[in-house]
Amino acid sequence: MELRQLRYLDAVARARSFTAAALDLHVAQSALSQQVAKLERELGVELLRRTTRRVEVTEAGELVLARGRRALAEADAIAADLDALHGLVRGRLRIGGVPPIGGLHPAALIAEFGRAHPGIDITIREEVAATLLDELADGALDLVLALVDPADTAPSLTGRHLLHEELVLICAPDDPLAARKRVPHAALADRPLVAHVAGSALRRNLERVAPDGRVIAEANELETLRELVALGLGVTLMPASVVGGVPAEVLAVRPLHPRVRVPVSMLWRDHEAPTPAAAAFRHHVLAAVTGRP
């Protein structure tokens, strides 16, 4: 059994796809499949069940992954400790959450960090907040940027509140709500809603503001949500910073009454020393937010 095989197995299990896992790992799909098959033959069990639509992890696969992920985390920690011993900032950085949130532009921060530390291999994972936080707790990610309060996450996680973001209502310019200066929460009762997928912070806040609203469409991309709303399919909530520059003839943006503000946070695992790369990125983000080096 090799660490490489465990890493390949973990990637396929998370992506539920050999194709997506191969892209994430920057390896040929044939090589990845061969190594996973080799591991299955060595262990004498089926770890992944291939279907026509996706890949499912078997019961034996879950058992192997539970211990395998701990082994991978320890192996990564050894490499990080050696880097730290030699005063190097290199290695691997795995970040979850990239769309602009609040006054924070994660893509720009990551690009700046990558230019400053070319020795670090950066992996970016985009998913809903609930999934990213689960992967952070499992050790698959080093850091997550999300619209959540660190105090509301699992006990194994901690983090730093960076800033607050206001959520605003967006609707088509000819929607009756566009005629209001502010939109009371009650005005969303029984309204058709275009929502982010379940598990996202935006979906959770939309359901809190409009518990009686009717979700008629879901999307995983902010741009898709904006387009569906602009075409009059429904209304939704979105971070003010994401829609601030949209022309009024395309989309109506209105504050809520009372206003809704959500925390923007950077999260990591509690009681665990960060890798040198993760520590450097934390410092980079905090310096950008506070304006202090």
Cβ atoms of 95 and 144 closer than 8 Å: yes
pLDDT for residue 86: 59
**d(Cα 266, Cα 148) in Å, to the nearest integer?**
9
Specify the residue for token string 């202090």.
292
- Residue 79's pLDDT is 74
What pLDDT was estimated at residue 192?
95
Tell me what pLDDT residue 142 has.
Answer: 94
Confirm if 215 and 235 have CB atoms less than 8 A apart. Answer: no
Q: What is the pTM of this model?
A: 0.72
Q: Taking a C-beta distance cutoff of 8 angstroms, is the pair 120, 92 a contact?
A: yes
What is the three-class DSSP state of 193?
A: strand
Type of residue at 228: L
Domains of the chain: 1-88 (1.10.10.10), 165-261 (3.40.190.10)
pLDDT at 105: 81
Q: What is the DSSP string of the chain?
A: --HHHHHHHHHHHHHT-HHHHHHHHTS-HHHHHHHHHHHHHHHTS--EEE-SS-EEE-HHHHHHHHHHHHHHHHHHHHHHHHHHHTT---EEEEEE--S-BTTB-HHHHHHHHHHH-TTEEEEEE---HHHHHHHHHHTS-SEEEESS-GGGS-TTEEEEEEEEEEEEEEE-TTSGGGG-SSEEGGGGTT-EEEEEPTTSHHHHHHHHH-TT-EEEEEESSHHHHHHHHHTTS-BEEEEHHHHTTS-TTT-EEE-EES-EEEEEEEEEETTSPPPHHHHHHHHHHHHHHHS--
Q: Residue 105: what are its φ and ψ, rounded to 5°?
A: -120, 85
Q: Nearest Cα to 267, choosing from 97, 119, 77?
A: 97
What pLDDT score does 101 carry? 66
Q: What is the mean pLDDT of each run of 10 residues along the chain (293 residues)?
A: 90 88 87 92 91 86 90 80 65 83 79 89 90 92 93 94 93 96 94 93 93 91 92 94 86 96 93 88 89 60
- Compute the C-alpha angle 286/288/290, nearest 5°: 65
pLDDT at position 84 is 64
